[in-house]
A and B are shown apart, each in its own frame.
Chain A
């Protein structure tokens, strides 16, 4: 609270894994990695509360011990991301397809506004309809509205086992159809990722015995064009997804929310030098843009396609490119949280 009150311009930072979102000229970094530790966790309540600077990996280890987890698979956990950074950026990993994304699991927040007041929203029970849904609102608020201090999450029992499948396709179009089929049938995918060449990676979670049967049913329904991945290859794939290590070094990384129906269109518009993956059953495109290519070109392309993009790693001017929804009320609400403009603007 004191830091906010005494500093004219600041931006909360955690593990800096999404570095494009924390490099803001003219804004002092408010390092929060020391604001860490679990404050309340009762597995039988399905609620986990910890300070915002707690490492995601640490939180996940504690949950794992009690056979629970964050179903939404927060990215960059193996690279040192914090719970606060996770919520402020609002990114989902591949697991979001099953039970929902981060926004569906954040139930309470304590935060410091631009005036240095400590406030809260939501609560510490999984069912709560009191007051405005400030926890969900702050997911993806990028440290521009408030400094997150303490976060309460709903957590779920972790599936006993996982199995991953690779489904091959001739091209992106065929792969997309297969992915849509998997997503739309009651096969309950735990994760569903589509590669640019049409390969689909599917993860299932459940009991060992059932997973064997489920995998075989799915492979057979999809024309036996794939295989169950050996555990080490599966682990490697999901870790690569978590750390974005499938992207070339020093590329600028961008998140583009979209819908499956636009994948072919966007894929054909993207220059060939852009590495890409379509995650969360085709609801997000993760793009890797070479540093030596002008990012403004991507911004123009996205704007023309009426899509927003968020630059989260690498060097770029503003983090938001493309077409973002605007409304007068958005500025009004931002000024309520931060009347003196202490936090960086969003655009």
Chain B
């Protein structure tokens, strides 16, 4: 470790190179709390030129690095690497420019997601990607992991709202991809960089697309006596030709947790709740509301409630947005999954999850983006209990394998990171992964940018992960 500290001297003023244990501890995990790794040091740049200097320094001395925003990654995306440093980007938190007429914002990576919309609001604009962690997560992290949220079906993910970026690649080259225009010529380099999980370099300036604020919203909450009925309601909505801004489902366990945590006022005893939100012009909503109401009525809900104003709307969403952290009340620990299945197979997927939970003796709460088939099973365990995490991980692996078997994906929005890298081979062939690895090395020949993430270890990716993670077995990482 001292060697790295020595190598870092001069890169930044000493007070911004953290090396004392009590400082490093805060960086040793991210949202995937099952794993931790103490970095050798944390550096805290304040300007783009400092970021460029640090990365070039790392490249010269072959120091592995992990860029980090707020550390909310649920896939271990900013879990530090052994004998590596963390580059904390929180002080690059300036909104550099907003151009309301051309509808874009130029921001630094440490800007908190929600703050972009808060500042754009005065111009009647907003930033569409709304992950549930948006009050904390940063744009840099959103870009690296192509963050999603509840409104992805209609509005897309982070990459669909990134116009361009400036970055320092891990090979030291400073690049500018994309630009202010919504139109491009040639291959889409900015989109290749987006979602590259920190394996290419660090973006120090990001150009975001802003949309006109939604004029009107119509938010409905419906409760059902079974998850199947809620799922059928979603199918009927899709068949009706409506394109809601959001369609979310929570199961009984998730509802109970959310109610205990934030008292959102969800109907008591419901097996499932469905939140549907329509967005659009007042004239279109007038017609669409009627259609929505008819479709929901035919789906035999137990109760329905339409938000009368923004306060009620916020209350409906409060339960859903706090679901993950609320589950922390039911269980000391949990793993959040992020699989995707074709929407038509949601019912089948939920039965599968229930079965996997029973087989592995773990409780699983379910929250999911019903419109796009993105599941979030919250697999509960107690880290103090022997074998509990192992059972949870076995369940997690089974669920991921099943998602891919059904024609879906191992990750809808959290990214592969560290958590799911061993499963990348279930979706892509050896040649596909080989190409991605080569592309990575074009940007990062020494493999110092977030190494050990996304790609499976070893020659042949293993198809399941039980018990201790390979890095644990080797003593490289440990868990609390």
Of B103, B186, B283, B431, the residue contacting A206 (CB under 8 A) is B283
Of B343, B410, B424, B438, the residue contacting A336 (CB under 8 A) is B438
Inter-chain contact A207/B287, CB cutoff 8 Å: yes
**In this assembly, does A113 line the interface, its C-beta being within 8 Å of a C-beta of chain B?**
yes
Inter-chain contact A137/B188, CB cutoff 8 Å: yes
Residue among A132, A140, A283 with max Cβ neighbours from chain B (10 Å): A132
Inter-chain contact B414/A180, CB cutoff 8 Å: no
Inter-chain contact A130/B411, CB cutoff 8 Å: yes
A-B CB contact pairs (8 Å), 13 listed: A44-B239, A104-B160, A121-B432, A127-B372, A127-B413, A128-B412, A129-B415, A133-B194, A136-B194, A138-B188, A184-B212, A206-B284, A337-B435
**In this assembly, does B256 line the interface, its C-beta being within 8 Å of a C-beta of chain A?**
no
**In this assembly, does A157 line the interface, its C-beta being within 8 Å of a C-beta of chain B?**
yes
Note all chain A residues with C-beta closer than 8 A to B152: 126-127
**In this assembly, does B195 line the interface, its C-beta being within 8 Å of a C-beta of chain A?**
yes
CA distance A310 to B440 in the complex (A): 28
Known: A210-B281, A257-B179, A261-B102. A129 touches B195 (CB 8 A): yes
CA distance A257 to B188 in the complex (A): 13
Inter-chain contact B156/A325, CB cutoff 8 Å: no
- Nearest CB to that of A205 among chain B residues? B284
- Interface residues in B410-435 by Cβ distance below 8 A to A read 410-416, 420, 424, 427-429, 431-432, 435
Closest approach, in angstroms, between the C-beta of A180 and any C-beta of chain B? 5
CA distance A104 to B412 in the complex (A): 15
Of A119, A123, A188, the residue contacting B280 (CB under 8 A) is A188
**In this assembly, does A343 line the interface, its C-beta being within 8 Å of a C-beta of chain B?**
no
Note all chain B residues with C-beta closer than 8 A to A284: 181, 183
Inter-chain contact B191/A137, CB cutoff 8 Å: yes
Of A124, A133, A309, A330, the residue contacting B146 (CB under 8 A) is A133
CA distance A109 to B340 in the complex (A): 18
List 10 tightest A-B contacts by C-beta distance, closest first: A136-B191, A186-B215, A257-B183, A210-B283, A332-B442, A257-B181, A283-B182, A137-B192, A127-B412, A127-B372
Of A124, A126, A210, the residue contacting B287 (CB under 8 A) is A210
- Interface residues in A280-339 by Cβ distance below 8 A to B read 280-281, 283-284, 308-310, 320, 324-325, 327-330, 332-333, 336-337
Known: A119-B431, A261-B102. A125 touches B373 (CB 8 A): yes
Inter-chain contact B284/A210, CB cutoff 8 Å: yes
Inter-chain contact A125/B186, CB cutoff 8 Å: no
Closest approach, in angstroms, between the C-beta of A310 and any C-beta of chain B? 4
Closest approach, in angstroms, between the C-beta of A116 and any C-beta of chain B? 11
CA distance A181 to B420 in the complex (A): 45
Inter-chain contact B284/A129, CB cutoff 8 Å: no
Note all chain B residues with C-beta closer than 8 A to A158: 241
Known: A44-B238, A210-B284, A261-B102. A186 touches B435 (CB 8 A): no
Closest approach, in angstroms, between the C-beta of A315 and any C-beta of chain B? 19
Of A45, A160, A185, the residue contacting B343 (CB under 8 A) is A45
Note all chain A residues with C-beta closer than 8 A to B186: 140-142, 308, 310, 320, 324, 346
**In this assembly, does B463 line the interface, its C-beta being within 8 Å of a C-beta of chain A?**
no
Inter-chain contact B414/A129, CB cutoff 8 Å: yes
Inter-chain contact B124/A126, CB cutoff 8 Å: no
Inter-chain contact B442/A336, CB cutoff 8 Å: yes
- Interface residues in B163-186 by Cβ distance below 8 A to A read 169, 171, 173, 175-177, 179-186
**In this assembly, does B377 line the interface, its C-beta being within 8 Å of a C-beta of chain A?**
no
Closest approach, in angstroms, between the C-beta of B149 and any C-beta of chain A? 11
CA distance A206 to B169 in the complex (A): 45
**In this assembly, does B25 line the interface, its C-beta being within 8 Å of a C-beta of chain A?**
no
Note all chain B residues with C-beta closer than 8 A to A341: none
**In this assembly, does B100 line the interface, its C-beta being within 8 Å of a C-beta of chain A?**
yes
CA distance A114 to B419 in the complex (A): 33
Inter-chain contact B145/A261, CB cutoff 8 Å: no
Closest approach, in angstroms, between the C-beta of A272 and any C-beta of chain B? 24
Beyond the given A126-B152, A188-B281, A310-B185, could you list 16 further A-B residue pairs with CB under 8 A, ordered by the A residue number?
A: A47-B342, A129-B145, A129-B409, A132-B439, A140-B186, A160-B241, A180-B101, A184-B101, A214-B284, A255-B185, A257-B182, A259-B180, A283-B183, A284-B181, A324-B185, A327-B175
Closest approach, in angstroms, between the C-beta of B330 and any C-beta of chain A? 26
Of A44, A119, A131, A261, the residue contacting B344 (CB under 8 A) is A44
Known: A104-B160, A157-B243. A130 touches B102 (CB 8 A): no
B 128-165 binary contact with A (CB < 8 Å = 1; else 0): 00000000000000000110100011101101100000
CA distance A261 to B103 in the complex (A): 11
Inter-chain contact B188/A136, CB cutoff 8 Å: yes
Known: A186-B213, A206-B284, A336-B442. A127 touches B342 (CB 8 A): no
**In this assembly, does B407 line the interface, its C-beta being within 8 Å of a C-beta of chain A?**
yes
**In this assembly, does A80 line the interface, its C-beta being within 8 Å of a C-beta of chain B?**
no
Inter-chain contact B102/A260, CB cutoff 8 Å: yes
Inter-chain contact B157/A129, CB cutoff 8 Å: yes
Known: A131-B424, A184-B100, A259-B102. A333 touches B439 (CB 8 A): yes
Inter-chain contact B183/A119, CB cutoff 8 Å: no
CA distance A127 to B148 in the complex (A): 9
Note all chain B residues with C-beta closer than 8 A to A202: none
CA distance A67 to B242 in the complex (A): 11
Note all chain A residues with C-beta closer than 8 A to B412: 125, 127-129
Known: A133-B192, A136-B191, A283-B181. A127 touches B373 (CB 8 A): yes
Note all chain B residues with C-beta closer than 8 A to A130: 409-411, 416, 420, 424, 427-428
- Nearest CB to that of A327 among chain B residues? B175
Known: A119-B432, A129-B409, A214-B281. A259 touches B181 (CB 8 A): yes
Inter-chain contact B173/A280, CB cutoff 8 Å: no
Note all chain B residues with C-beta closer than 8 A to A258: 181, 183
A 71-96 binary contact with B (CB < 8 Å = 1; else 0): 00000000000000000001010001
Inter-chain contact A129/B281, CB cutoff 8 Å: no
**In this assembly, does A166 line the interface, its C-beta being within 8 Å of a C-beta of chain B?**
no
Inter-chain contact A137/B181, CB cutoff 8 Å: no
Note all chain A residues with C-beta closer than 8 A to B440: 132
Known: A185-B124, A188-B280, A261-B101. A132 touches B242 (CB 8 A): no
Closest approach, in angstroms, between the C-beta of B76 and any C-beta of chain A? 14
CA distance A343 to B235 in the complex (A): 44
**In this assembly, does A16 line the interface, its C-beta being within 8 Å of a C-beta of chain B?**
no
**In this assembly, does B471 line the interface, its C-beta being within 8 Å of a C-beta of chain A?**
no
Note all chain A residues with C-beta closer than 8 A to B184: 90, 103, 140, 257
CA distance A67 to B243 in the complex (A): 12
Known: A129-B411, A133-B146, A329-B171. A99 touches B342 (CB 8 A): no
- Nearest CB to that of A189 among chain B residues? B212
**In this assembly, does A246 line the interface, its C-beta being within 8 Å of a C-beta of chain B?**
no
Known: A141-B187, A184-B124, A310-B185. A124 touches B435 (CB 8 A): no
**In this assembly, does B204 line the interface, its C-beta being within 8 Å of a C-beta of chain A?**
no
A 133-158 binary contact with B (CB < 8 Å = 1; else 0): 11011111110010000000000111
- Interface residues in B330-351 by Cβ distance below 8 A to A read 338, 340-344
- Nearest CB to that of A285 among chain B residues? B183
Note all chain A residues with C-beta closer than 8 A to B415: 129
A 173-191 binary contact with B (CB < 8 Å = 1; else 0): 0000000100111111000
Note all chain B residues with C-beta closer than 8 A to A136: 159, 188, 191-192, 194
Closest approach, in angstroms, between the C-beta of A319 and any C-beta of chain B? 9
Note all chain A residues with C-beta closer than 8 A to B284: 188, 206-207, 210, 214
